[in-house]
Amino acid sequence: MKTIHKILSYIIDYPLEKVDSQFSGNVEVSIHRGEYKLSTKNVIYSFGKNYTSFETALEAIEAQKQNIPSVLVIGFGLGSVVDLLESNKSIQQITAVDADVVILDLAKKYSKAKLKNKVTYCCSDAMDFVKNESQQYHLILFDVFIDDETPIDFMQEDFLNALKNLAAKEAYLLFSKINDSQKNRIENMQFEKKFSAVFPNSFSIDANGNKLFAWQNK
């Protein structure tokens, strides 16, 4: 990131490039307030350390204090959650899953995280990955959207159960949903019942227009 671009980003949203995504249509990378931002017309996919929904959720579970050698991020964007976790010294491996090769290429190009060398990129559909993966993880972050909607297949019990199987003992799981409209809130109320049936003793975190459903594998 050039210094002049970073300075300008505190005045304007400084554009870097636009690309066409098979899944999300036109996506744009820009610099805003000194952080890389990835967005569509309707939603922000990544925003560095300003990605406040996951910042709030990770603070709520005290992620920086947890022993989390392995992290699974499904729906990677530019890797904002990696930026947010960089002070956790226990992390040894981060698996970044995204179905969109365009997004993964942008992540590799613009990532500035200190943990970058610990990231393994996997271009895969989330359903395929979750059902075929054998490794268990100590922190699982689900952040998949097509524009501003969570694909319905990922809100079904078979997917949630497969996701649960990837959680190591004491692992935390965070599942992000947009919660900024009446339609979203009604959908999330229905989803919460399904989520809590699969993940007993789960709880939710309201964070800047998002609702994150959280669970620890105790």
Q: Give the pLDDT score at 75.
A: 93
Rounded Cα distance, 212 and 63, in Å: 14
- Residue 110: inside a domain: yes
- Residue 116: inside a domain: yes
- Residue 136: inside a domain: yes
CA dihedral 61, 71, 39, 50 (to 10 degrees): 40
Rounded Cα distance, 107 and 13, in Å: 19
* Count of Cβ atoms closer than 10 Å to residue 134 Cβ: 6
Q: Give the pLDDT score at 6.
A: 72
- Residue 38: inside a domain: no
- Residue 196: inside a domain: yes
Rounded Cα distance, 200 and 109, in Å: 39
122 closest CA partner among 110, 143, 136, 108: 108
Q: Do 122 and 85 contact (CB within 8 A), yes or no?
A: no
Residue 134 belongs to domain spanning: 51-216
- Residue 184: inside a domain: yes
- Residue 66: inside a domain: yes
Q: Which CATH number does the domain housing residue 182 bear?
A: 3.40.50.150
Q: Give the pLDDT score at 131.
A: 94
Rounded Cα distance, 16 and 27, in Å: 11
- Residue 40: inside a domain: no
Count the domains in the chain. 1
115 closest CA partner among 134, 95, 91: 91
Q: Give the pLDDT score at 115.
A: 66
Mean pLDDT of residues grouped by 10 in the chain (218 residues)?
A: 71 87 86 85 73 86 93 90 87 94 90 75 96 97 87 96 97 94 92 97 91 96
